[in-house]
Structure 1
Amino acid sequence: MNFPKIITVALLGAALAGCATSKDELMPHGDQTMQDLWRQSASGRSGDNLSQQALLDARSDLRRPMTDGALVEQRIHHTRTAANEIYSQFARLPNPDLVMYVFPHLAGGEPVPVPGYSTVFPLYSRPQYAMPGDMARPQLNPLDRMGRAR
């Protein structure tokens, strides 16, 4: 009968009622301006000595002493080598492999059974390189905590 019309009118009425709210109801305006909020946060950081002390305490808790191995590892990653220059200038974009499974089937003029097997296809036909500065430099030799290569 008129059931589809009733449903359509009800949905249309609900949609219009949902759009009838104003932005002031959803996000009421406060009495502070953006400039007041900015000044309040700026003065709260520099004027409050207790929060500064708490911040310094938290930073000192998070600090860890650096061992000689960690210092050497940092120097290795910041030294300038030809490989680092190439990788940092023109990094290779990831080329994911698609692993496909071929089900067992019969092949050839005489139906010869071929067992099922998996094969790998690269997503792109050739390697793609990023423009300088597009990607982060890959880590060449990942080291564990003892400074040994994995």
Structure 2
Amino acid sequence: MSHDHAPPPDDTRDRYGDPDVTVDAHEDDWAWRRRIRANPHTHRIYRILVGVLGLVVVSGGAVMVPFPGPGWLVVFIGVGIWASEFEWAARLLDFGKRTLKAWNAWLQIQPRWMQAVVLLLTLAAVAMIFWGLFLISGVPGILPDFAEHRLHAVPGL
């Protein structure tokens, strides 16, 4: 049985073919980062700062993912921050971009009824998330009166 893995379908192997964890100075387009990477001490500090900043942004996005809004966008931004310094994150970002493009391409060629089903499932998931949120925290008082009264009529709220 062969344990060979197929090469990635894009240019990630060409772009990140070396075994390094971080982007090399000569692979960087920005002179200020090439200078930082030229000094091992400043490079280490910069890597730590990029790692921590990326972790904060990815974590914030992960918390936002189940709620309506830009959760996945924030996660992608955090991975993009990591990808500026770490090759594994650049490969992960490339994978995410390919997956998102494939999902969009698949959805666009589906019949309208399938697109409607996906939309309805998405709306149902958002409604369930809000229902759970309001169940735990209560209906917020900042909503207009008509919306607040209707939400209080929802079972469990």
| TM-score tier (shorter) | under 0.3
Please report the TM-score for the alignment, with normalisation by the length of structure 2.
0.20
The structure carrying a bigger strand percent of its residues is 1
Larger Rg: 1
Larger relative contact order, structure 1 or 2 (CA cutoff 8 Å, min sep 6): 1
Structure 1 or 2: more helix by fraction: 2
User: So what's the TM-score if we normalise by structure 1?
Assistant: 0.21
